[in-house]
A and B are shown apart, each in its own frame.
Chain A
Amino acid sequence: MDGAHDLGGMHGFGPVPIEADEPLFHEPWEGRVWRMLGNVMAHTTVDRFRYTIEQMPPDEYLASSYYERWLWALEHLAAEQGLLDSDARPPTVAWPSPTTPTWAGRFRAGDQVRVRNAVTDGHTRVPRYLRLHVGRVERVACAWPNPGESAATGSYGEPELVYTVAFAATDLFDAAADHTLTADLAESDLEEPWPT
Chain B
Amino acid sequence: MADLTPAQRVERLERHLHEHGHLDSDDVDAAVAAVESASGDAPSTALGARVVARAWVDADFRARLLADPMNAVAEYQPQGVPIAVLEDTPSVHHVIVCTLCSCYPGGLLGNPPAWYKSFEYRSRVVREPRAVLAEFGMEVEPDVELRVHDSTAEQRYLVLPVRPPGTESWSQEQLATLVTRNSMIGTGRPRTP
Contacts and interface: CB of A to CB of B under 8 A. Distances in A.
Interface of A: 5-19, 22-29, 31-36, 38-39, 46, 50, 53, 62, 66-68, 71, 74-75, 78, 83-87, 89, 95-96, 98, 100, 125-127, 129, 141-142, 144, 147, 162, 164, 166, 169, 172-173, 177-186
A67 to B, nearest CB: 7
Q: Which 10 A-B pairs have the closest CB atoms?
A: A8-B99, A184-B153, A31-B32, A142-B82, A179-B146, A10-B123, A7-B123, A29-B10, A29-B7, A84-B16
Contact of A13 (B6, B23, B113, B123): B123
B155 A142 contact: yes
A23 B37 CA distance: 11
B17 A39 contact: yes
Interface stretch (B55-63, B127-135, B161-169): B127-135
A13 B118 CA distance: 10
Given A15-B135, A184-B152, A68 B6 contact: yes
Contacts of A184: 150-153, 155
B136 interface: yes
Contact of B9 (A17, A75, A98): A75
A9 B146 contact: no
Contacts of B120: 13-17
A13 B65 CA distance: 36
B43 to A, nearest CB: 12
A75 B12 CA distance: 10
